[in-house]
Structure 1
Amino acid sequence: MKVQVNNKEVELISASTISELTKQLELPAQGIAIAVNNQLIPRTQWGEHTLYENDHLVIIKAACGG
């Protein structure tokens, strides 16, 4: 199954969740936000939010500074 992550195509196992995606991409456990098809998904729902073919995800990493 293919999804778009920050405008790059990523191949996932079928019926993946956001939590599984974060593990596959080796993302940090804290300091990120994820939107699926322009809808921000709360971290508490990552384990149950199923991703589908051609979903568009935006992953935002927090940065320090000013």
Structure 2
Amino acid sequence: MKLFRLLMLIIIAAILVGCAATSPWQREHLSKPVMQFDHNKEETIAREHMLNTLEGSAGGFGVGGGGCGCN
């Protein structure tokens, strides 16, 4: 039981070490194009086309406005 608690404490401590707030000057490095998930635009377009064809619907992949619609 003590070994389990010690192991859980070590795991939780290891997870919490990675939690930190980023400063504005650090966000510059995170916003570079190499850090984006869809780095291959052609592949992304082909994947969206395939999903649109299979599901019979279009859209829903981008970021859209929400709320009252006054934008």
TM-score, normalization: structure 1? 0.22
Higher helix share: 2
Structure exhibiting the larger radius of gyration computed from Cα positions? 2
TM-score, normalization: structure 2? 0.21
Higher strand share: 1
